[in-house]
Copies of this chain bind each other. A is one copy, B any other.
């Protein structure tokens, strides 16, 4: 068994949840608006470079652009502009060392890279994760009518996910995670669709019956279902996004044997670890938090790994937009996990061989098995 590198620099990775890259050049305000989950820097609070993720950008990203580590934000952004977004993205993505990306293609606030484009930048592979609510809204907009929605959606989802790795639910953003478990009957779905269509205006799925229906459609197709859980932007009511609120639905879906992936989870990641232990089909990660907490990524991972069996933990960056976030999400995951495993070896809690094996599972093996990637 080889030695354990505390940076896990060469560890093969599957980034099982991320988004596309923005390809245009950005002002400082635009860069800061993509740096955290804030809409942007606030007049009251100052620059978002003064945050864990901001200091992490300054620590790790300047060398990728030929600047010294810890370069000031203004110098860094000047150099970024000089190289251009495409070159920056290429350098950042190459530096991640990620082999496979699973991309949520349902969040498109502006034009971003496709899965194939992202993979090409990194010299890796990409697969799509289909956002359930976006597809449902597309089907509803086709004037199929409430009664025909359920059937049309099932057909469309099967077609749309032919090459996809899984599906994703954003029920957390729309109604929270307190969903009942039982599969809703088509008549119930039709009534919910009718309520939505009768409402007029922009079609926006935000009904517990519909979210539950969509999830069950994914389960019925045997597709791993990702859930947004916990940490997100100001649109999220975080107190409705505790993964424990999914308990009923997890209990109901477990017999199907289809993986359910709880994304992000912070600051409820210990709760997620519990669910990963007691429900055989639940997988968990701490993506998005990993780069946002910067220097503290290892502390968060340690908490996740208290109860979560090591065969149920995944890696994701949940990066969106900025190449820097893909690099940081990856690098801080590698260092956070690697240093924890190395410490355990030093304290004789486990062997080097076990540490190497656990790193391989969490980095890629678990995702390959759960998503049947190989």
Verify if A309 is at the interface (C-beta below 8 Å from B). yes
Verify if A36 is at the interface (C-beta below 8 Å from B). yes
Verify if A161 is at the interface (C-beta below 8 Å from B). no
The reply to whether A247 and B251 contact each other, CB–CB distance below 8 Å, is no
Segment 81-103 of A: residues with Cβ below 8 Å from B: none
| Chain B CB within 10 Å, residue with most, of A36, A38, A289, A303 | A38
The reply to whether B44 and A259 contact each other, CB–CB distance below 8 Å, is yes
List, in ascending order, chain B residues with CB within 8 A of A239's CB.
242, 244-245, 247, 271
The reply to whether B306 and A55 contact each other, CB–CB distance below 8 Å, is no
How distant is the Cα of A238 from the Cα of B271 in the complex, in angstroms?
Answer: 8
How distant is the Cα of A279 from the Cα of B238 in the complex, in angstroms?
Answer: 13
Segment 232-259 of A: residues with Cβ below 8 Å from B: 233-234, 237-239, 242, 244-245, 247-248, 251, 257, 259
CB distance from A355 to the nearest CB of B (A): 10
List, in ascending order, chain B residues with CB within 8 A of A69's CB.
348
How distant is the Cα of A300 from the Cα of B305 in the complex, in angstroms?
Answer: 13
List, in ascending order, chain B residues with CB within 8 A of A347's CB.
295
CB distance from A234 to the nearest CB of B (A): 4
Verify if A59 is at the interface (C-beta below 8 Å from B). yes
**Nearest 5 A/B pairs, CB to CB:** A42-B280, A46-B311, A239-B244, A267-B270, A234-B278
The reply to whether A247 and B257 contact each other, CB–CB distance below 8 Å, is no
Verify if A126 is at the interface (C-beta below 8 Å from B). no
Say yes or no: A70-B271 contact (C-beta < 8 A), given A52-B307, A309-B50. Answer: no
Segment 21-66 of A: residues with Cβ below 8 Å from B: 36-39, 42-48, 50-52, 54-56, 58-59
Please give me the residue from chain B that is nearest to A355 by CB atom.
B55
How distant is the Cα of A135 from the Cα of B103 in the complex, in angstroms?
Answer: 54
Verify if A294 is at the interface (C-beta below 8 Å from B). yes
20 contacts between A and B (CB under 8 A): A36-B277, A38-B280, A44-B281, A44-B312, A45-B366, A50-B357, A50-B358, A51-B277, A51-B307, A52-B307, A55-B354, A59-B350, A233-B278, A237-B247, A239-B271, A267-B271, A289-B306, A293-B307, A295-B349, A299-B303
The reply to whether A39 and B70 contact each other, CB–CB distance below 8 Å, is no
How distant is the Cα of A350 from the Cα of B52 in the complex, in angstroms?
Answer: 10
How distant is the Cα of A349 from the Cα of B309 in the complex, in angstroms?
Answer: 30
